A and B are shown apart, each in its own frame.
Chain A
Amino acid sequence: MTQALEGFLQALSAGLLIGAVYGLMCVGLGLIFGVMRVINFAQGDFMMLGMYAAFYFFTALGVQATFGNTFGPFVAILLAGPVLAVFGYFIHLTLISRVSGTRTSSLEGEGHYAQLILTLGIALILQNGGLLVFGSVLASIRTPLSSSAWELGPLFYDVSVFINKARGIDAVISLVTMLLLTLMITRSRIGKSLRAAADNPTAATYMGIDVDRAHRIAFAIGTGITAIAGGLLATNYPFHPFVGIEYVIVMYAGVVLGGMGSIIGAFWGGMTIGLVQQMSTLILPTQLQNAAIFVVFLLIIFFRPQGFFGRMVERT
């Protein structure tokens, strides 16, 4: 009995920790796909680039030497965010803006077909380019904290929960990043104009808001956020140039689960996926983790097609 309870609490805490990082990862796509309605299949590969950026910041660009082995990885990960945001900005400027925003607003499907093909193409280039540049050897951003834990407890009946230190810090960084992003979106002028541009691009233009620029900023922030999440995942999971495919489906599932257009929703969508993934190991073999995620996904969407925070009303 105690053992089952301990296992349950352990899976629950692991789910919450990984869920926080998945949540952040989904928020990045939530800005691009949920809010700005741009289909981006390269989001997973942007995340892969974020992982490698953090990796090289840590190993080759002096972060390890300056900040040490323990906390250096987290510094490198936070540096990778802005770098990938700049990358996202230029990808949008040169490519995505040609198939999205005001340019395609009058087209059938609002340019989604072109976005699909373009971003799949970008994904292929990044994956194979990554293979050439980074090689196929698994990389990881390990910190000594990845293999040590805090013990919570004993809580009751000698039950205690172990929290992996790296995952604990990952979750805290995720939550803080999420909090800062939420503040930016809800309080700042630029955040409000992003929401206005998403609500009604034409009316936003009447207000003097440059809608394409607003889209570009959202795309850049979304890319940077996902890159940070990628770096955080890389403290526990090794990665390779094709790692993006493993995560991009989860990202889309999280955004849809949370409700299109809702940033908070995307976070809870990712959190749900993290929880289901970890909790499913209690009753199912590990190989069925992903199957469990999508069974739960289908169940939720069956009963609540608009997702947790989605609205049923049609946008104007």
Chain B
Amino acid sequence: MLRIEGLTAGYSAIPVLNGVSIKVEEGQFVAIVGPNGAGKTTLFKTISGIVRPSAGTITFGDHDLLSIRPAQRAHLGIAHVPEGRQVFPSLTVMENLEMGAMTEAGQRDWKHNIERIFEWLPILAERRGQFAGTLSGGQQQMLAIGRGLASSPKLLMLDEPSMGLAPTIADFIFERLIEIRRQSNLTILLVEQRVAEALESADHGYVLEAGRVALEGNNQTLRADDRIRKAYLGM
């Protein structure tokens, strides 16, 4: 579904990504893990079109993504839940969800989607009239995920949903994600620093280090890998 090949991108002359190749098949849950500054967020921003790559290709379905304007990419079915949540603070929870549903598919499935989102993340139903800026970090994260789901995406991209959250809340968000995935069969691309949790829930994983794919493999291979166990899992 998503195919990234030889992607090199960065800011000014300094490349953050150096020939990264990543593949996400339909229905797959793929996790990208790695230390701070490895280029994970830049990878997501390149997929969404905020950062322009200097080399490489990205195809999504049959589309050459790099030839499509950034604002159009959401309409193809890519939902980007950004790092640091980035909800619209002066819009209410409900209006934030409506913004998620700006795509044609989101419009069409609005009733169905909003029901499921409220079922999965009931706090959003409870706070629907509240300004998003007044929500707690965990609630904002749930809103950002709900907003992504409201677009009826084919691919849900999550950039560090646990960032800056208390461990229990991060655990809860992970648990919700797994439940959402179990029920909806969504294709998910997750970037995460909590390596153990990410690799546990994903089917397939990539380790990104200093802008390169250092390792890749399915969930079991990666978790059994010595380097991963030492460097990330502390075993």
Q: Which chain A residues (169-211) contact chain B, with CB distance < 8 Å?
A: 189, 192-193, 195-196, 199-200, 202-211
Q: Which residues of B contact A313 (CB under 8 A)?
A: 89, 133
A205 touches B151 (CB 8 A): no
Residues of A within 8 A of B87 (CB): 200, 203
- Near A by CB (< 8 A), chain B positions 117-148 give 133, 147
State the CA gap A208–B72 with chains docked (Å): 6
Q: Is B86 an interface residue (CB 8 A)?
A: yes
Q: A202-B82, A203-B82 are in contact. Are A209 and B99 (CB under 8 A)?
A: yes
A209: B residues at CB distance < 8 A: 71, 99, 102
A203 touches B75 (CB 8 A): no
Total A residues in contact with B, Cβ cutoff 8 Å: 21
The minimal Cβ–Cβ distance linking A306 to chain B, given in whole angstroms, is 14
Select one of B70, B91, B103, B147 contacting A205, CB under 8 A: B70
Q: How far is the CB of B143 from chain A (nearest CB, A)?
A: 11
B86–A207 CB distance below 8 A? no
- For residue A85, give the distance in angstroms from its CB to the closest CB of chain B: 23
Interface size class of B (residues with CB under 8 A): 20 to 34
> In the complex, are the beta carbons of A316 and B151 less than 8 A apart?
no
Q: Please report the C-alpha to C-alpha distance between residue A207 and residue B70 in the assembled complex, in whole angstroms.
A: 10
A208: which of B86, B88, B89, B151 is its contact (CB, 8 Å)? B151
CB distance from A97 to the nearest CB of B (A): 14
Which residues of B, 66-121, contact A by the 8 Å Cβ criterion?
69-75, 79-80, 82, 84, 86-91, 95, 98-100, 102-103
Are A196's CB and B49's CB within 8 A? no
A205 touches B98 (CB 8 A): no
Q: A192-B95, A193-B102 are in contact. Are A206 and B90 (CB under 8 A)?
A: no
Q: What CA separation (Å) do A211 and B50 show in the bound complex?
A: 12
B162 on the A face (CB < 8 A): no
Q: Provide the A292-314 mask, 1 if CB < 8 A to any CB of B, else 0.
A: 00000000000000000000010
Pairwise interchain contact A196-B91, C-beta atoms closer than 8 A: yes
Complex Cα distance, B104 from A271, in Å, reads 41
Contact B88 A195 (CB under 8 A): yes
Once A192-B99, A196-B99, A313-B133 are accepted as A-B contacts, the answer to whether A205 and B88 lie under 8 Å apart by CB is: no
Is the Cβ of A200 less than 8 Å from the Cβ of B86?
A: yes
Q: A203-B82, A208-B102 are in contact. Are A316 and B89 (CB under 8 A)?
A: yes
A201-231, CB < 8 A from B: 202-211
Tell me whether B48 is interfacial, beta carbon within 8 Å: yes
Within the assembled complex, what's the spacing in Å between the Cα atoms of A296 and B102?
44
Please give, as numbers and ranges, the residues of chain B lying within 8 Å of A205 by CB-CB distance. 48-50, 70-71, 74
Interface centre among A206, A210, A313, A315 (most CB of B within 10 A): A206
* Chain A positions within 8 Å of B80 at CB level: 206
Q: Tell me whether A189 and B70 are in contact in the complex, defined as CB-CB below 8 angstroms, given that A195-B90, A199-B90, A207-B147 are known contacts.
A: no
Checking A192, A199, A206 against B98 with a beta-carbon cut-off of 8 angstroms, the contacting residue is: A192
How near does chain A come to B61, taking the closest CB pair, in angstroms?
16
- In chain A, what residue has the closest Cβ to B86? A203
**Chain B residues, Cβ within 8 Å of A206:** 48, 74, 79-80, 82, 86
For the complex formed, measure the closest distance between the CB of A199 and the CB atoms of chain B, giving whole angstroms: 4
Q: List residues 157-173 of chain A with CB under 8 A from any CB of chain B.
A: none
- Please state if A196 and B71 are interface contacts (CB–CB under 8 Å): no
Cα of A256 to Cα of B10 in the assembled complex, Å: 38
Since A199-B88, A205-B49 are in contact, a sample of 13 more A-B pairs with Cβ atoms closer than 8 Å, ordered by chain A residue number, is A192-B95, A195-B90, A199-B91, A200-B87, A202-B50, A202-B82, A203-B86, A205-B71, A206-B74, A208-B75, A209-B99, A210-B69, A313-B133
Residues of A within 8 A of B (CB): 189, 192-193, 195-196, 199-200, 202-211, 261, 313, 315-316
24 A-B residue pairs with Cβ-Cβ distance under 8 Å, sorted by A, are: A192-B91, A192-B98, A195-B91, A196-B95, A196-B99, A199-B89, A199-B91, A200-B89, A202-B82, A205-B48, A205-B71, A206-B79, A206-B86, A207-B74, A207-B151, A208-B71, A208-B74, A208-B75, A208-B102, A208-B151, A209-B102, A210-B69, A313-B133, A316-B86
For the complex of A and B, the 6 pairs showing the least CB-CB separation, nearest first, are: A208-B74, A203-B86, A199-B88, A206-B80, A210-B71, A208-B102
